[in-house]
Every structure is written in structure tokens, then in C-alpha cells.
Amino acid sequence: MDKVITINSQYGSGGRELGKKLADKLGIPFYDNELITRAAKESGFAESAFEKAEAKATNSLLYSIAMGMSAYSSQDFGYGNISIDDRIFLAQAEVIRKVASEGPCVIVGRCADYILRDEPNVVNIFCYAGADFRIKRAIESYGVNPAKAAEEVMKYDKRRANYYNYHTSEKWGVIYNYQLSIRTDLYGIDHSVDVIKTFVEG
């Protein structure tokens, strides 16, 4: 199995858990927050800078303004009009390309499907689920306050969509960007892993 598998997911649909279990079953590396750690080490940026850049994407207009404003502070670094957040994204993209070139792996989120779009051995997966399932997982698995769980699910989906839409020429979650979309509340996480494993090995 020589595939690089990217996984995008709605918040609460279990994409990270599914990705980790899939990587374990296939015996290949798994990358999520590990990408931030490696990108920080190789770029010289603090890990917190990567986390803050992702968190800014809650609102697309505010995100665009923030990234435009940060361009003015990048002059001293010799990057012209490339903003700090853009430089952070490019550093992360470089690491994604590197880990993909090193062999089969599973990469969760961070626009990996778009970054690796020209690579022939990449399989892009999208995980989604009904609202009740995602709210329940947010409460039980992520410790979200039950009174705010529905709001949190919507907020994080919006953040992921805005981050993806800003950095790519595609729209997050559009079905034609993926070879396989799977509804985890109908299949369950473990069976979804088996379905994806069969798909990528086929």
C-alpha cells in the first residue's frame, strides 16, 4: 500500500480518531498535531504561532483583514508582502509535502488534500455526520459544555471552512474534491475505518 491518505472532516464526526485507527491498521505514520511540531522545528516559528493562525479562521472577513494587516509586519523578514500567517501556512505546506514524499501515511486536515493535489498516489477522504451525533461526540469526547455544544460544532465547522477556503482555490467539503466521503454516524468509526482501508487497498 503506497497511498498517502488525507482526511478532512466535520467537527465531531470523528475524523482524527478514524485517521489514527486507519494508520494503525495500515501500519503507516499518522500526522495531525505532529505536523505543527515538525513545521515549528524546521521553520523557526513557535508552535503557538501555528495554532493561533488556525484559530483566526473563525470569521472569513476578520481572517482576511488580519492576514492583510500582518503583511505590514513581515517587511523586516525579507518576505515583502507575504503575511506572517501566509508564511506559517507555507512552512506547514512544505512539511506536508515532505512527509508525503517519505512514504505512505495518513494526514488529517490542514489543507493536505489541496497541497498534495498534483501527487498521483493521494487518496482524499471526507468524513461527515448528522448534527446530533456530532454534538454528542463534542460533549462526550471533547468535553464541550452541553449548553454550548451545538454552537461549538457550528463554530468549528465554520473555522475549518474559512481556513480551507482562504488558503485554496476550492471550497471545503465539496464532494468532488474527495475520492470517498463517508458518514460516520451511520457506519460507526470502526466500520468506517474498515471501509476506507478496503477502498484504498483496492
Of 8-17, 63-72, 93-102, highest mean pLDDT: 8-17
Q: Is 22 buried (19+), middle (13-18) or exposed (0-12) by CB count in 10 A?
A: buried
Domains of the chain: 4-201 (3.40.50.300)
Grid coordinates of 200: 484504498
Report the pLDDT averaged over residues 42-55: 73
Rounded to whole angstroms, the Cα distance separating 78 from 178 reads 37
Lowest mean pLDDT among 111-115, 135-139, 151-155, 163-167: 163-167
pLDDT at 69: 42
Say which DSSP state 45 is in: -
The C-alpha cell 488580519 sits at 66
